[in-house]
Amino acid sequence: MRSKGFTLIELLVTLVIVGILAIIAIPSFTEQVAKSRRSEAMRGLGDLQLRQERWRASNTSYGTYANLGSPTVPNYTLTITGISATGYTLTATRANAQSSDRCGNYVLTVAAGVATKSLSDGSNASNCNWP
């Protein structure tokens, strides 16, 4: 009479297969989550740029956070520097869960009507979708 159930070998083979799948899937999942957070930062910078242009249409220089309000980006800190009548610099600095992101910080500089996008403080800028 044969007993019902799994043998120890069958269980070990199953565990090995699950382990191999986890080794492949977890880094891929982590990168996709980081990528979605990066797109949130880009969206926040775009929103802030639109707010700046709306403000400038009615004023003699670009605005500060006090004038514009701030879009919320959970894993980045947005800052405005270099405000003048002709330009400004917006920076999305990594924070919280994104603090060790390989892409670095996103920088958007507007000078005399020309927007320039760049990355700063990153260890690997490949596939970061900016600029």
Those residues whose C-beta lies under 8 Å from the C-beta of residue 3, and which sit 6 or more positions away, are none
Given a cut of 90, is residue 46 above it in pLDDT? yes
The verdict on residue 39 lying in a domain is: yes
The verdict on residue 82 lying in a domain is: yes
Residues 60-87 pLDDT 10s: 899 888 888 878 889 999 999 999 999 9
Extended strands (E) in 4-43 = none
Mean local confidence (pLDDT), 96-125? 88
Question: What is d(CA 70, CA 85) in angstroms, rounded to the nearest whole number?
Answer: 20
Query: What is the pLDDT, as a whole number, of residue 1?
Result: 66
Query: What is the pLDDT, as a whole number, of residue 18?
Result: 95
**Nearest Cα residue to 65 out of 75, 74, 78, 76:** 78
Count of all residues that appear for the chain in the document: 131
**Nearest Cα residue to 105 out of 88, 96, 118:** 118
The verdict on residue 125 lying in a domain is: no
The verdict on residue 129 lying in a domain is: no
Given a cut of 70, is residue 12 above it in pLDDT? yes
Query: What is the pLDDT, as a whole number, of residue 131?
Result: 64
Number of structural domains the chain divides into: 1
Which residues form the domain of 31?
A: 8-120
**Nearest Cα residue to 107 out of 117, 115, 99:** 117
The verdict on residue 83 lying in a domain is: yes
**Arithmetic mean of pLDDT over the chain:** 89
Query: What is the pLDDT, as a whole number, of residue 100?
Result: 87
The verdict on residue 95 lying in a domain is: yes
